[in-house]
Each structure stands twice: as structure tokens, then as C-alpha cells.
Structure 1
């Protein structure tokens, strides 16, 4: 009998004696078949599954991960590696934070390079259980150990890592885009659409307009050719990705000030046409694009200087009653007010309650960028209307957000603007400014 089996048996039998459990009682308490439990403890068959070991630990009052360091030899013998035991073992080690056990077993798994598939399978199980952060380390191991650059397993691992690392740190997000980009066309077709969408989304928040245009164009093209099983495997109906591609293409033109050209794309996704009959989920997506299309028509009209439509647009935003739509609408309204000399104090007063809640966006990729944009345009609006103290407050909010998102270029522009009015800043504002700048210097 192997030493590790005796060690496991000794530990479990010791706990049985301590708690005064007999075999029947322990089987009842753990839900493990009494015959299987007896054979495992007597070394007649391979020992416990990891879930059975967890059940035993729970009955004995042990913390999750109890005896995991002794379980490795239940998964790997001199003869072979047990995939059915290793995958759940790696998953549980990651879930309970037993990284020491992962460190110990990985070199043994990788004695045969083909066994990297086991690590990948465990990472996928974690990811699909919503344990994205726990899966990150295992995907990194796959990336480090797969040598075939055209491997779908490698491309999928890069895709997962890209998804896991997306946050409000602009610098980190851009590095993730650069790292993942070469693998986007090597993914299984069922992942490619979502990958392109996520790339376009990330680059939009980073103001990388050429990249957004590239990914959105690919998104439109690819979404029209997927079929069969690929459609079933998609996160969303293909019409969603098609519409998103058109939306991003239109948004890039809007950001470049090409409003009339942007309207052509808005018309396309506001009245989406699809070559095949749509199921219920597809129809819901089409209806959502109609809502976005209407909102973006208002946006473009406001940006072109149509002051007469602002109250109507405000009514529409209020009817939607969605904070992310409100911040997007206010960016357009305040930006246009700065460009064309409108007074929109009544609009800002109307949505003051919503504006007070914009801080909840600060942990979300796209929405934190919208919040940043709003503070930028609002500061200019306050300065333009002679409200210097209010403008400086907005600049301080902007600078804090830019620092948190590591958008240092935006932060630098804010510093220059703040210092223009520094002599008129209050003692409180100067204290906040200096404190924020110290934090920024430490981070850089």
C-alpha cells in the first residue's frame, strides 16, 4: 500500500476515533456509501474523490482544503495521471486558495506536455462556474506551456485572460488588448464574435478609434456568416453582434465629428434587417437597438447644434429611466452646450438626482469612462458660465477618476486646466488637489 494512502487513512481514522464515529455513522453523516468508504480506508480500492474528502472534512469540523496536500498521489501514480481526479482537484484547490497544492502538482502534470489539457479543462470549469479570478492562474499556465501558436486551446486561454483582466485600469486594459489581438482569429467560431465585441468595447473606452473601427467592421462581417451549431453556442443572437458592430462604427464617426455620416449607421441599427426569421431572443435585441437608435439620433441632433430638441431629448431620457442612458445623454447635451453656447442649467437640475449617483459607475469599464467624460464637459460648462468654484470641483472629480483609471494623459490635461484657475481655488480645493497629485506621483 502506498505511503500516502496510509497517511490519508491514518488521518481519517484518527479523526474517527477522536469523534467516536464508527464506519456506519461516518457513512451516514457524509453520504458516502459505507462499502466504498470501508474499501477506501482499507486500501482495497483507490481512495476518495475530492468531494468525498471535503465531506469528511466538513463532518470532522475541518477548514476547506483539509488533507489536500496528501491527495496528490490519489491523482498521479507512477503509471498514469488520473484526469477524472485531477480536474476536480485543481478546481477545488483554486476555489479554496490551496495554491501550494497546485504548485506541487503542476510539475508532475507537465511531465507529459499533453497533460496541459487537464489544466485547461480545470480552468474552463472554474471560469464557467463564475470563478474568473480563480481561473486566471491556470489559464496563464496553459499560455506558458502550449507551444503551438495556432492551438485553439491557447487562443481560448488568451480570450479568457483578456475577459478576466478587463477593468477600469486603462493601462492594463490596453496591454490586455495588445496581448490578445494576435489570437482573435484563431478562436473557435462560437467565441470569435464575443471576442471582437469585447475588443471593440475595450478600445472604445480607450479612445483607440482606428482599432474600434477595425474590430467593429470584422464584427459586422462575421455576424452575418455564422450558422448552425455556432449560433447555438453564442452568448447572444448573431443580430446582437451585427447591431453592435454598426453601433460602434457609427459612434467612431460621431467621435470624429462626422455626424451626418454617423446617422447612416444609426438608421441601420435602429431598423435592423436580418436575412432569416428571428426567434424571441433575436427580436428582443432588435427592439433594444430601436431604443438605442432613437437615443443616438437625439444625440446627433443635439451635437449638430439643434437646441430646440434638447427638452424633447430630456423627456426621452427620463422615460427610459436608466442611469447609463442618462449619463450618455447628458454628455451630448453638455458638450453641445459648450460648443454652441446653450444654457442647459434646467436639464442639469432635472437630472440632479441621477448625477449624484454617477459614482456607482466607477468600477465598470465603459460606464466609468462615461462618468469621466461627463465630468470633463461639465467642468468646461461651469467655467464658461463663470462658476469657477463649481468648475474646479468638477476638475477635481475628473482628476480623481482619471488617476483611478490610470488615464494619465487625461489627468495631465486636467492639471493644466486646474492650474489656470489655481489662484481662485479655495483652501479645501487646493488641499484635495495636492493630495490627489501625491497619490498620482506615487502610482507613477
Structure 2
């Protein structure tokens, strides 16, 4: 296609070469003859829908003329939003991000387009077209001022959500950039935003950040519960925000997180206090379906976490009860086995029978890990990476080198995929400690993995 040829000229050329009149073109493109006549005679501008129909009729893929469409039909001094909005949506679905950049840059030079761009960004975000939505959010955020701080904060929240990915360094950068906007968010978004932020820091094992924002989440949810009781409109709020958990669930989650911080610090006594705090939610008076579900869920998690903290404090006697607890809970198996192998390595506990009992589940975890409930996908991936590393330590220490190296290489591969430098370094040091026991094929697999690692393995 010549750069000097217009879309309409291309269409006329196609009609001449294929000996088509207006009626013929209308028939093959399944469009109204009157519409075709107006387009061909230049009395009507193409909508993106009409352009797509004509483009397909001419034998080109949809989007073929989009760059030209911007120049010929969207560059008016007063852009037509009814034409521009569907075009941007089509670009988003086709992942034509350069076209979106061009149109949005053009629109932001005009006054009054921040509102419709934000609304479109929200629709794209809900449709999970995150890359396209991010372009709109970024530009709307640049146009905001102090009078629109809530919308600026919401743009930053959406950008943070869109930037959560496997690369942990990039996820961390997105979290740090967003956290200063939490206080500016509208109340209806704050609890979810804090939950998402703290989950990211939890995945990254940034425990000081987890502790800080878990406490913020607890304080905010507690203040909101008091306000709800004063208004005596809890049921109304639940109906209004049916897609979000009830407020007490965020409060319970804050204690679950604070218990986890204590767990990491090996302060199991304090961790148990937080576990007991949300283990009994009988004071919650709401009886709607969502409230009952979350009450049961947190009471269940508390029971499990009490087992864990007792186990990690060296109480091996809780193992049978803990195993019985999670055996029928598929979503909890990875977390539970990770806890058990961690304790086994710390206290030299023989858990061969437990690993044998869950052998098939462990093998399936090697294939895929899916999150649910309070766990997001990032967290599950990180947890499996940690579990593989601990299993490698367990087996290598016992002289079971085949199994040990298998899980060590798995952990190294996962660590490299999510760019977790600390795990990479641990795996490298562990391999070097047992290198003499590794067969040649294991050493070759190790070399291949190391060649792809994005970190200096000698750094501290």
C-alpha cells in the first residue's frame, strides 16, 4: 500500500480491478447499498465497523488500514468521540498499542477528553485488556491535578494492578510507585487496594512492608466496621458492595498477615496471638451468604495456622492432626507441605511417610500451580519455588541425590522465571555444595539454566 494512497482510493482501485459496482460491493461486504454509496462518494466517513467490513472484503486482515484511518478520519480539530471510542476499543482487542498511543496523544492535546478516556480505560480494564488500558490510565493521570486526586489515585491503582507480572523486580517497582496513592483513593477502593498491595509485598517477601500495610489494613477495616455499626446499615453496604468481601474479612486478613510476619521472624508465640484473634468470629452478627462464607473460611485458616505455628515452634506432635486437616483440602496442600518440609529441615524431622502419602499431589504441582481464595497466582508461584528449594535441601541432606537435584533444578528454573535473585543464589550455593554427587546430565541441565539467569550468582 502506497503511503500517499488514501483508504478511499484503495477501495476505488479494488472495485475497478474486480469490476464491482456499488451494489456488488454492498452484497459481498454484507452492507447497505446506501451506506456504500455515501462512503464511495465521500459523503460519509468510515466508522471502524464499516472499515473492518471493507478491509475483510478486500482480502486484508482487520486493522490493516488503522494507521491510515487515524490520519484520514480522526485528526479533526474537534475529534468525534463516537468514532474514536470504538476505534480505540478495536485497537485494544487487536493489541495495536502504537495506534492507541497515537490517538490518545492526539486527544490529550484537546480539552475535555480525560473523562471519556478514563471511562474507556475502566471498560478495557474490566475486559482484561490491561496493556491498552494502561496507556489510557497513564495519559489521564498526567492530565490530572489536585482537584481530581481521587481519580489520579484510581489511575495509579489500575496501573499497579496491570503491572503485576512474573518479573518480581518490576512488580516491586509498581508497588512502590503505587503505595503513596493509597490514602487518596475513594473509600470503596481502599480496602481492596491495601489487600492487593500487601499481597504483592507478601509475594516478594518484603516483610517490613507487609507488616506496615497489614496494620494499615487492620486499622482502616476496624474504623469502617465501627462506622457501619453506627449507621446501622451493614446489610445495605453488603448489598451495595456484593462483589467485595465484608469488612471484617479484611480485618481478619490483616491479622493473618501479621501472624505470617511473626512466623517469618520465628516469633511463633506472637504469631499464635494473631491466629487466635481471627479464629473466633462469633462476634460477627451478619448472616448473609458472603459473611457466613468468610467467617467459615477464616476460622478454617486460623485452625491450620495454629497447627503451623505450633509445628514451627518444634511441637512435632501436631503433625498427625495437621495432616488430617489439610488432606481433604486440595487448595491448601502446597502451603501445608511447604510448612511441613520447612519444619522438617529446621528440626531434623523425618517426614518421608508424609511425602510418600502426597507423592501424586507433589508431582502434579511440578506441572502447574493455581491459586485460590486469599492466595494470588504470584504468591502460589513463589510458594512452590520455596517448596522445591526446601525439598531439595531435605533430600540432599538425606543423601537422596536424584530427588534432591530434581527439585533443586525445579526451584532454580522457577526462580529464574520470576527473577527472584535471593532464591537463585541459594540454589546455586546448594548445587555447588553437592556438585560432586551430581551426574553429568544434571550438571549439563544446571549449566543450561545458569546461562539464562539474569543475575550475578556471586552477589550477596
Give TM-score, length-normalised by structure 2: 0.83
* TM-fit CA distance, 1:348: 0.1
Compute the displacement of 1:207 (Å): 1.3
| Change in 2 beyond 3 A, CA 1:168/1:66 | closer
CA distance in 1 between counterparts of 2:27 and 2:186 reads: 45
Which secondary structure state, in structure 2, belongs to the residue aligned with residue 257 of structure 1?
coil
* Residue in 2 that maps onto 1:423: 436
Other-structure match for 2:76: 77
Task: After TM superposition, list the pairs within 5 Å mapping 1:91-102 onto structure 2.
Answer: 91-102=89-100
Change in Cα spacing, 1:431 to 1:111, as seen in structure 2 (3 Å) is same
The C-alpha deviation readout for 1:191-237, integer Å capped at 9, x for no partner, is 22211111111111111112111212222233341766797357422
1:305-352 per-position Cα deviation (integer Å, ceiling 9, x unaligned):
232322232222221133xx1111111111222222321100000111
SS where residue 319 of structure 1 aligns? coil
**Structure-2 change in CA distance of 1:134 and 1:377 (3 Å):** same
Alignment of 1:348 with 2:346, yes or no, is no
Q: Note the alpha carbon deviations across 1:67-116, whole angstroms, 9 max, x for none.
A: 333433544523x2322322222121222233443344333212225434
Q: Is the 1:270–1:290 Cα contact (8 Å) retained in structure 2?
A: yes
The corresponding residue for 2:310 is: 301
Alpha-carbon offset, residue 178 of structure 1:
1.0
Report if the CA contact (8 A) 2:217-2:254 is conserved.
yes
Quickly say closer, same or farther: Cα 1:247–1:74, change in 2 above 3 A.
Answer: same
Q: How does 1:58-73 map to 2 (within 5 A)?
A: 58-72=56-70, 73=72
Whether 1:115 aligns to 2:122 is no
Partner in structure 2 of residue 26 of structure 1: 26
**Root-mean-square deviation (Å):** 3.2
Distance of 1:231 and 1:247 partners within structure 2:
26
Q: Structure 1 residues 135, 357: closer, same or farther in 2, change over 3 A? A: same
Question: After the TM superposition, which of the residue ranges 140-149 and 214-223 deviates more from structure 2?
Answer: 140-149
Alpha-carbon offset, residue 404 of structure 1: 1.8
Which of 432, 435, 440 matches 2:448?
A: 435
Moved more, 288-297 or 380-389: 380-389
1:316 to 308, 317, 325: 325
State the SS of the aligned residue for 1:166: coil
- The correspondence for 2:398, drawn from 372, 378, 385, is 385
Instruction: Identify unmatched segments of 5+ residues in structure 1.
Output: 1-5
Pair 1:153–1:82, CA change in 2 (3 A): farther
Cα distance in 2 for partners of 1:232, 1:16 equals: 56
CA distance in 2 between counterparts of 1:435 and 1:61 reads: 45
* Equivalent residue, structure 1, for 2:374: none
Asked whether the equivalents of residues 334 and 344 of structure 1 are also in contact (C-alpha less than 8 Å), the reply is yes
Structure 2 CA distance, aligned partners of 1:309 and 1:229?
A: 41
Aligned CA distance change for structure 1 residues 164 and 231 (closer, same or farther; 3 Å): farther
1:152, CA displacement in angstroms?
2.6
Per the alignment, residue 191 of structure 1 pairs with 189
Contact 1:302-1:310 at 8 Å conserved across structures: yes
1:394 to 407, 414, 430: 407
The whole-number CA distance in structure 2 between the counterparts of 1:436 and 1:7 is 51
How many residues are aligned here?
A: 434
What TM-score do you get using the length of structure 1 for normalisation? 0.85
**C-alpha distance in 1, partners of 2:285/2:68?**
57
What displacement does 1:433 show?
2.4
Structure 1 segment 73-222 matched on structure 2, within 5 A? 73-78=72-77, 80-112=78-110, 114-146=112-144, 148=146, 151-222=149-220
